[in-house]
Every structure is written in C-alpha cells, then in structure tokens.
Structure 1
Amino acid sequence: MECGFQKPFRFEQMWMKDSGCTNTIEAVWRKHTEESWDTKIVTKIDHCGKALTRWSKQAFGNVKREIERKRKELSKVERRAISGGDPRPMKTLQEEINLLVDKEATMWQQRSRILWSKDWDKNTRPDHLEEVIDVIPEVVTAEMNASLTFEFTALEVEVALKQMAPLKAPSPDGSLPAALGHSFVTLIPKVKNPKAKEDECLRLLEILVTYERASGQQINRAKTTLFFSKSTSYDVQEVIKEALGVQVVQQYEKYLALPSLVGRKKKESFANLKQRIWKKLQGWEAKLLSHVGREILLKAVAQALPTYTMSCFKLPITLCHEIEALIWKFYWGQHEDARKIHWVKWQELCKPKSQGGMGFKDLFRSNDALLAKHTWRLLHDHHSLFYRVFKARFFPDCSIMEAKESSNASFVWRSILRGRDVIKRGAVWRIGNGNSVHIWNDRWLPGAVNNKIISPAIVANNNAMVSSLIDQTSREWKGELIDSYFFEWEANIIKNIPLCRSFQEDVLNGLLAWTENGRDPELFLSMAWTLWNRRNNIRLGKPSIPLE
C-alpha cells in the first residue's frame, strides 16, 4: 500500500561540501533527451532531485543518528585510552564528529531561512483581509503603483536572478512552470503579555481572532500561559482564563534566565546565578592550572556569566560579595575545606594592571556601570522602543534625570535609577538654553569642586533653572543678577561659560559614551566605573584614579 503523501524535495546546502553532489548533478544534466527546452528543464530538475535524494541516503544517511553513533564510539575509545590504549583514534573520531556537526549546523541554518509558501490557507477569504487592510494607511501612490506594474524587461529579469541569494528560489507567481516553485512554512505564534483587565483582554482576543481570520494562522494555546498579579480578583481571573482558553501559571517563571518577578527576597531571586557560577568552578581543576590560567578562566567565564543579569537588575551587595568569594577562593587554589593563603586583598586585585592589580571586576561597581548605560540611552536615544515605553510609564512629564521613584515601581525601573546615580555623580551639564539644569541641584559649573554651586541657595529661587540667569534675547549672561546670587569666584566662572547664539538644548557630558565613530559601550563602562570608584575613594580619603 502506497502512501498518498510524498515528502517534498529540498536541496541541502551541506551537500555542496561533498564532491559527490557535483558529480551527481553533472551526470543528470549530461544525459541527452529529445524534448523541448522548457520541458527538458523541468524533467531534468525532477530527475536531478531524485538522483540527489538517492545519493544522499547512500553517502550521508541520517546526520543526527550518525553523530550519536560516532559519539558513542568516541566514548569507548576514550575509555580504552585512559586504560592505556592507543589515543590516536580519538583525534580521528573527533574530526569526523566535527565535520558531521558542521553539516548539521548548515542544514538547520538553511531550515531557518525558508520563507512563506505559495499556498494560501483555505480559511482565508477576501472579506477577512478587508478587516486588516482597512486600518493600514496607504503609502503607495497611483504613480508608484503604475511604475511597479509596468511591463518588465529582459534586463530587469537578468538583474533580479543574479541578485537572488544562492539558496533562494523564484516565486511561483512569475512565468516559470509551477513545478519549479514549492516551499513550506510552519509558524508558531504566541500571546505576549496578556492583560489583567477584562475589557482589555476581550479587546486583545478580538485582535487575535481578526489576525487568525486574515492570516489563516491560529494561536497555539497549548504553549500560551497566564500569570496574574495578586491585585487581580478571582472573578476577573476566571473570566480572562475562560475567554483566552489557556492555562494559568502560579509559580514564578524565568525568561532568558532572568526572574520574571522579583519580590522582597531579592537575594533568593538571584540565587540561581551564584549556583551557576559555583558549578562552573567545580568543573575546573584548579590544581592543574597556573595563576595565569585561572585568571583567564575567571575573567572569560565566571565574571562574564552575571553580566546580562547585572545589566537588567541591581544585585544585592551580599550576593556580589558571595560570588566574589567563590572567585577569589578559586584564584588562590582553595578547594572545598582546604584553606589557602590569600596573599593580596581582593580590592587590590580589582585594580587595573597599570596600577598593580590584576584587572578583575568589582561586581558591585560593574553592576552600577551597566545600569548607568540604560540611563544614558534614555537620555540620548529618544527613538527607541525602550525609551518610548519607559517614558510613557515612568517619566511622562520630565526627563530621566528628574524622574521620581514610586513605591509601586518595578525592580527594573528602580535598578535603572541606581544607574542614574552614577550619571549624576560623574557627568556635567553643558549649558544650551538652561531649561533642563537646576542652578543649585545639578552639576554644571566647570572647574569647580564637584562641579556644583556652593553659594547659599536663595529660598525663593531654590528650584530655579539656569535659564533664569540667561538673557534669551541677547543670549548673554545676566551679569548683575549673577553677581548678587553667587560668590565672586563662582560668578566669574559662570560669566565665562560660552553661550551659543542659536537655540540649543542642554547636553549632559563627561562620560565620553559617544565617539566620533558612534557608540562605544566599552569606553562608557570604563569611564562610569572610573568615576564611581573615584567618588568613593574621595569620600573615604583614599587615592583616586586621575581623570586624564
């Protein structure tokens, strides 16, 4: 009994790495047949596909099963080598496995690049599409449409074919035979961020239903879950659950290895991070590595693991110290309960090598520097989705520098505000129109101690802006007013600050986060850490890193 379904032919890019593929194709195309040119092309493509399929089964087989078989064989050879056997077959098998893994990676890379098929879902009807098309603004004018629908030339066809990627196929809506154009697609849509209000949920459901009717795709409810906050009543939960028809998740889940919710016990929320680092350290034999080897491993792996988490959340200082304890114990060769002498303090090892240290990260300060990067983005990148969402939610009527921390704010927002403190302590305002800079609260005075005004604030003008000191018509400083407000030496510095003749916004400078060639995050993090370290050392009366 024959099955009515025939698996479609797919050319595998991994075949091109084997000479047998070229030989098989050439053998098919060299055969002479008495047919018209268009029929001959279709026939030879069909025969070529069948020949490649037969050759692939003989030469390649199942790549995944072959990798598993080779790995089992490698395990046996390794055990024999440990017992005194010949270790040379290990290298040969490992090379064969690497080649198979490379072929498998090529195969899956090609799978991920397959585009839409020519088949349109039978459930899709023109009236369903109108619901979507009606709300899409028209951007193609009549002139543009006439140009696009104009009869194409032979030169345009040639250029289009030459520009086509090697693994792509022409669309079946052209003049080529239908047998040349086949492709398949599988999409897995998911519901993101289900709403916690009944009316919003019903509106979301209506949008999803419209999308399903227009596209012919359906939401996979088996892979969709709901999580309700404590403020959502039981009745609303039941209505939403029944409307969406998905399961409810009660426990906290992780997304991209980060906790979805962070409660009051923040150390417990990030305990998994310490556990991951501990497992990495346990897998290394410290006694077999030199200090240089341990240093490289710790910097490249152990200290790199928390980077993504620290760029999103402010870790508890106790957790940072516990992770650093694991790192320095491994560095000094301490194993389990066997204690080793730590010849140099950890704080000294965290200094740059140019200052006698080893260049290890101070996790607590690195955490602040990474979070400060987000504050800098919110200050300068006003077109990103990140800025638009946080602007609407947390500081709709002011800038990030004036935003307040609310009691019900998310832990992510509170973490970003910790990064803002680094910016405030290290950056200096460059005066434009003066509308964004507070006279007594912000850092804007060049060359002064802390770059802040130390003259006593006038009670009536305690929250005054620098713009009140500028004559906006002549674009000059109000000399008499400045002399009456500030100490003489401060007044002289202010009056010597150059003002632009045209209208310019105030700019926060001093962290060198932008270079002539664009963004430089490594330079930003380095400067942010330097400023934070300098501020702490000054407060503690210790030598500080010069800002040169």
Structure 2
Amino acid sequence: MENLWTLKAILRGFEMASGLKVNFSKSSFIGVNVPNAFMDMACDFLNCSRGNIPFMYLGLPVGANHGRAITWDHLVGHLNKRLNSWGNRYISLGGRIVLLNSVLNAIPIYYLSFMKMSVKVWRKIVRIQRDFLWGGVEGGRKIAWVKWSKVCLPKARGGLGVRDVRKVNLSLLAKWRWRLIHGENLLWKEWKDLMGLDRSGNSNWFTSEVVRTVGNGNKTSFWNHVWVGEETFRSKYPRLFDISNQKEVTIGDMWVQQGVWEWSWRRIFFVWEENLFANLLRDVEGCRLSDEEDRWVWKLEEKGVFSVKSMFKKLENVLGVEDEPRGWERGVFKDIWESPAPSKVVAFSWKLLYDWIPCRRNLAVRIQCPPSGRSFDVCSL
C-alpha cells in the first residue's frame, strides 16, 4: 500500500510541476506477476481500470509477440480499410503506382520501425499491394504481368520503384542496431545486453558497412572489435586470444607508443605460435592514437552516420537483384520515367517495352484468351 501512495504522490508532483493532470478514470493499471487481490486493491485506490498485456500504446501493440500474425492484424486491416475508402473509382495503372508508393507503402512504416515482420505477414501485405496494382479496387484479382521482385526494382533498372516492405523493415530495424553500438548510456541498451546480444556490431548484413575508427583507443576492444581489416583479432587469431591475459582490455590499455605494445600471455609461445604473433604485429604496426574519441563509422555515408536510406540501397543491391536491364535499356527506362507524359501513358509505355500488353498472344500463354481465327492480335488495351 505504501508503494501506491508513493506512486500517487509522484503523479501529483508531476501535475503540480507541469500543469498536466492525470485522468485516472481513463488510465489503466497493469501488473506483471502480481496477485489479483493486490491488483483489485490498487485499481480501487487509484480509481483506474485494470489493463492487460499486450495493450495498444501510440498505435503499437506493447508486449505482443511480433512473430505471430495476429499481432499484425490491425495493420493489415488498416491497409484494407484504406483500399475500401477509395470506393469504386477507376484508377489507371499509373495512378495505382503513385498510390501504392505514396500511400500503401507509407502506412506500415510505423510498425516496421519497431517490429520485425514475419514471412507470413510479408506475403500477406505483398498480396494486398499486388492485387491493388494489377486489379484496382473493384475488379477483383487480375493477371499479374510481372513477378513482384521485378516490380520492386528501381525505375532506372526496369522496375516500378515500389519499395519491398521486407527490405524497408530490415533497414528501419538497422537503425536500432546502429544505436545499440553507438549509444553510451541508454537504458534499453542495457536490457539488450542482458539478452545476450554482442556489443561489437556484428551482423551478416550490417557489419560489412560498419568500421571502428580508433582515436585514443579507450573505448575500442583490442580483441573483440573490428578496427583493422574485416574481422576481429579474436576470430583471426583464436589461438593467441586463448592464451592472452588481456581478453577484455582496450587498445589504449595495451598501446605504449607507435610500434610498442604491452603484452601479457599465460605461457610462452610454441614455435608455430610465434609466426601468428609476428603476423599480428604486422597488422597493428601502423596504429597511431590521438586525443579524439573512438567512434563507429557508417561507410555508406560521407559523414559516417547511419541512414535508413543508405541501408535500403545496400539491401536493394544485395537481396533479390535479378533480371538487370542491359545498358541501352537503362537509358530507355530513364527516358520513360522522366517523360512529361501523363502517368498512365508512362506506365503503358513501361508495359509495352517489356511486351506485357494483354494481347491475344500473351493471353494465350496464360490460357486466358479463347482461340479465334480473326487476324488481329490485340484483345484489349
């Protein structure tokens, strides 16, 4: 009971200091591993309702398992609701491309910034986007003339510039990865450390673009950070790491002056270990310390600071890049999308260049057009 009085005093102090009064009747009290009797007493004392986990806060389900599809039902329902709001209007392909890029792709951003999307949810969202792109809002499912990976290519490379939500999700989550290795005194970072995540920034799709710039060496681990080459000395020289007495020390602790280091080993080297040590000395012989602080550098940005945009471009080049257009085709695609023509004309030209027009020959391939002895080839435009 004393804790409840303290809690209410804190909220009262907040009200007096800020002028913002807490409306207890609209508030919820949530307990974790707390007896029901105490929860009932606390809710009566604070005059608030009893809440449960998960709960919605600022549009996000807090405490929910983001790996379950049901967690994403709110987002999927929002996408379908937006499609229904467009009613039975006729929208050309060019218009649908604009709506897809500016509206349907923008709605999931908030969710994707905090939670990793499962493959099942990704396919569900892509299905909504694909059906809208090729079928509009009232015609039901229609023929998808090109695979989705092609649609998601940049316009200059023959696609429609539609952002793949899976790559967007990874790019947005990489921002937290950057903050994890870059921040110093962050409360949530301490929680992630307890979860056993490493603090070296290693990740198959992330670490290749992150490098440690050494200043005074006081915040860079000699063995556990990548600061020379493409891997840590711990992984490059595991034998030397095993016999070292300095497994957790920083570069600044070991560095005496250029070319001189303070070493401490559990035993003397075997003959073959001396060669490893000689290689290690060659790796660090160019090390020079300064008065500046050590810092992480994002290689894809000139200023060395992480950006979601640069991460997304990297993933575009790494994941699912196929069917690249030839050199002359790139020039044609650029001219098409930079044309001042209406969007529906530009989109039709894009389909025409790939021979994706619904003519009799193309429809026959999909068994959609009945055989006919008529001489013309075009079924519909």
1:372 aligns with 2:171: no
Query: Residue 374 of structure 1 aligns to which amino acid in structure 2?
Result: W
Higher relative contact order (CA 8 A, sep 6+): 2
- Equivalent in 352, 358, 366 of residue 160 of structure 2: 358
How far did 1:240 drift? 1.7
Q: Which residue does the alignment assign to 1:499? A: 288
How far did 1:468 drift? 6.0
- Equivalent in 283, 287, 310 of residue 527 of structure 1: 310
Q: Is the 8 A contact 2:212 2:297 kept in 1?
A: yes
How far did 1:303 drift? 0.5
**More helix as a share of residues:** 1
How far did 1:365 drift? 1.9
SS of residue matched to 1:509: strand
Q: Distance in 2 between the 1:391 and 1:356 partners? A: 41
Q: Distance in 1 between the 2:248 and 2:262 partners? A: 16
Q: Which residue does the alignment assign to 2:26? A: 223
SS of residue matched to 2:120: helix
Query: Residue 390 of structure 1 aligns to which amino acid in structure 2?
Result: W
How far did 1:305 drift? 0.4
Q: Is the 8 A contact 1:436 1:465 kept in 2?
A: no
1:485 aligns with 2:276: yes
Gaps of 5+ in 1: 1-197, 404-416, 544-548
SS of residue matched to 1:528: helix
CA deviations 1:453-475 (Å, max 9, x no partner) are 66451133499368469852214
Query: Residue 367 of structure 1 aligns to which amino acid in structure 2?
Result: N
Q: Distance in 1 between the 2:17 and 2:175 partners? A: 41
Q: Which residue does the alignment assign to 1:324? A: 126
- Equivalent in 145, 149, 154 of residue 347 of structure 1: 149
Q: Distance in 2 between the 1:210 and 1:302 partners? A: 44
SS of residue matched to 1:428: strand
- Structure 1 residues 478 and 335: CA distance shift in structure 2, 3 A: same
- Equivalent in 207, 214, 218 of residue 424 of structure 1: 207
Q: Distance in 2 between the 1:345 and 1:483 partners? A: 56
Name the % identity. Answer: 22
1:457 aligns with 2:259: no
- Structure 1 residues 299 and 483: CA distance shift in structure 2, 3 A: farther
Q: Which residue does the alignment assign to 2:80? A: 278
How far did 1:391 drift? 4.0
- Map 1:134-213; keep pairs closer than 5 Å: 199-209=2-12
Q: Distance in 2 between the 1:360 and 1:462 partners? A: 53
How far did 1:249 drift? 3.0
SS of residue matched to 1:376: helix
- Structure 1 residues 531 and 470: CA distance shift in structure 2, 3 A: farther
Query: Residue 445 of structure 1 aligns to which amino acid in structure 2?
Result: V
Q: Distance in 2 between the 1:542 and 1:477 partners? A: 53
Q: Distance in 2 between the 1:370 and 1:506 partners? A: 25
- Structure 1 residues 354 and 211: CA distance shift in structure 2, 3 A: closer
Q: Distance in 2 between the 1:214 and 1:491 partners? A: 60
- Structure 1 residues 210 and 350: CA distance shift in structure 2, 3 A: closer
Q: Could you tell me the TM-score, scaled by structure 2's length?
A: 0.65
SS of residue matched to 1:332: helix
- Structure 1 residues 271 and 462: CA distance shift in structure 2, 3 A: farther
SS of residue matched to 2:212: strand
Query: Residue 352 of structure 1 aligns to which amino acid in structure 2?
Result: P
How far did 1:427 drift? 1.2
Query: Residue 187 of structure 2 aligns to which amino acid in structure 1?
Result: V
Q: Is the 8 A contact 1:511 1:528 kept in 2?
A: no
- Structure 1 residues 463 and 322: CA distance shift in structure 2, 3 A: farther
Query: Residue 527 of structure 1 aligns to which amino acid in structure 2?
Result: S
- Equivalent in 248, 251, 267 of residue 50 of structure 2: 248
SS of residue matched to 1:429: strand
CA deviations 1:108-166 (Å, max 9, x no partner) are xxxxxxxxxxxxxxxxxxxxxxxxxxxxxxxxxxxxxxxxxxxxxxxxxxxxxxxxxxx
SS of residue matched to 1:288: coil
Q: Is the 8 A contact 2:87 2:137 kept in 1?
A: no
- Structure 1 residues 287 and 239: CA distance shift in structure 2, 3 A: closer
Larger Rg: 1
Q: Is the 8 A contact 2:174 2:206 kept in 1?
A: yes
1:508 aligns with 2:296: yes
- Structure 1 residues 462 and 380: CA distance shift in structure 2, 3 A: same
How many residue pairs match? The answer is: 312
Q: Distance in 1 between the 2:251 and 2:131 partners? A: 57
CA deviations 1:397-426 (Å, max 9, x no partner) are x9x8529xxxxxxxxxxxxx9x97654353
How far did 1:323 drift? 0.3
Question: Which 10-residue stretch deviates more, 219-228 or 456-465?
Answer: 456-465
Q: Which residue does the alignment assign to 2:69? A: 267
Q: Distance in 2 between the 1:271 and 1:306 partners? A: 12
